[in-house]
Amino acid sequence: MPSDDLHVDDETLALLALGERVGTPGDLDHVASCPQCADEVQALHGVADLARESGPEPHLVAPGPQVWDRVAAELGLGERAHAAARGGPVTGAPDAATSDPDDDPLPAARDDTFPPSPGGQVDGSSRGEPDGPSATVTPLASRRRARPARIAIAAAVGLVVGGAGATAYLERPDPSTVLASAVLEPLPGWSETGTAQVRTAPDGTRSLVVDLDEAPQGEGFLEVWLLRPDVSGLVSLGTLDGTSGTFALPPGLDLAEYPVVDVSDEPLDGEPAHSGVSVVRGALDA
């Protein structure tokens, strides 16, 4: 059990702040009775709560043991943190290989040290030394070590929770709504297929999302168009780079007038008009 002059180590306090079941019964009793350690746990708990409140409810995925091993190794947390991160029991003293020298309790008194006299002075006569000027014994201050690791542990808490928030953000569903879709069929001489969707964002803006099953092996570049059913008019939306692309629709464009999605193979001749060589085409069904 920790003495009055020795507090619970940073690693255990940080894990307790995260709600982990760690520490010896002596550690837990000390935290319950020590305002300084209790404040440390509360402060780190606040860091974790603040990080969790900064984003949507995360969809947490438990990392593998090798991830915790790397985190513990980077922060020099020792085997206690390794065992706690893996969900195993944490008992005993900190790992001697990673403990700071200042973590050790006061060294035991050697047999040849001078015992203090009742008056608080060092008595040399107990060793047969001649009497001489005596020195007042000044009690040592608490060996509570500075906590540079607290910053690193708090940062690690923020990174772990923040990483979960970032994962949740990436997994949020697309807020846009599908207004219309089309199946893109190959035209003569081509074998590629694909799909197209018209989506509207929460702010009302519309876009066309084009996905091809494979990249056409044309001689130039691919361009996306909206056509009238009789091909008497067309609107260029932009160049398709690769097999997928999203294109903003001009405000006020009537999809009932231009319902046909067309992807063409355009030569590098600087001519903005349609080449007349269409790769895939399909009509939007609202």
With a cut of 70, which residues of the chain have pLDDT below it? 1-5, 48, 50-60, 78-174, 286
In terms of domains, do 66 and 168 share one? yes
Q: How high is the pLDDT of residue 8?
A: 83
Domain count for the chain, please give it. 2
Give strand ranges (E) for 85-193: 177-186
In terms of domains, do 159 and 216 share one? no
Query: Alpha-carbon torsion 20, 38, 29, 90, what sign?
Result: positive
Phi, psi of 278, rounded to the nearest 5 degrees: -95, 135
User: Distance between CA atoms of 34 and 105, rounded to whole angstroms?
Assistant: 18
In terms of domains, do 192 and 61 share one? no
CA nearest to 206, candidates 196, 218, 195: 196
In terms of domains, do 165 and 65 share one? yes
CA nearest to 263, candidates 213, 205, 200: 213
Give domain status of residue 11, yes or no: yes
Give domain status of residue 138, yes or no: no
In terms of domains, do 97 and 199 share one? no
In terms of domains, do 191 and 227 share one? yes
Give domain status of residue 141, yes or no: no
Q: How high is the pLDDT of residue 105?
A: 43
Taking only the tens place, the pLDDT of each residue in 90-120 is 554 444 444 454 544 444 434 443 344 444 4
**What angle do helix axes 35-53 and 148-170 make, rounded to 10 degrees?**
20
In terms of domains, do 43 and 78 share one? yes
Question: Has this prediction a pTM greater than 0.85?
Answer: no
Beta bridge partners of 278: 264
Q: How high is the pLDDT of residue 12?
A: 85
In terms of domains, do 8 and 22 share one? yes
Taking only the tens place, the pLDDT of each residue in 145-194 is 445 555 555 555 555 555 555 444 444 556 789 999 999 999 999 999 99
In terms of domains, do 94 and 220 share one? no
SS3 label, residue 240 = strand
Place of tokens 């985190």: 71
What tokens were used for 79?
């085997």
In terms of domains, do 1 and 71 share one? yes
Q: How high is the pLDDT of residue 201?
A: 93
Distances (CA, A) of 168 to 18, 63, 209, 231, 261: 19, 15, 24, 45, 34
Q: How many CA atoms lie within 13 A of 84 on its CB side?
A: 25
> How far apart are the two ends of the chain, measured CA to CA in Å?
72
Please give the residue range of the domain that contains residue 258: 177-283
Provide the 10 A C-beta neighbour count for residue 60. 13
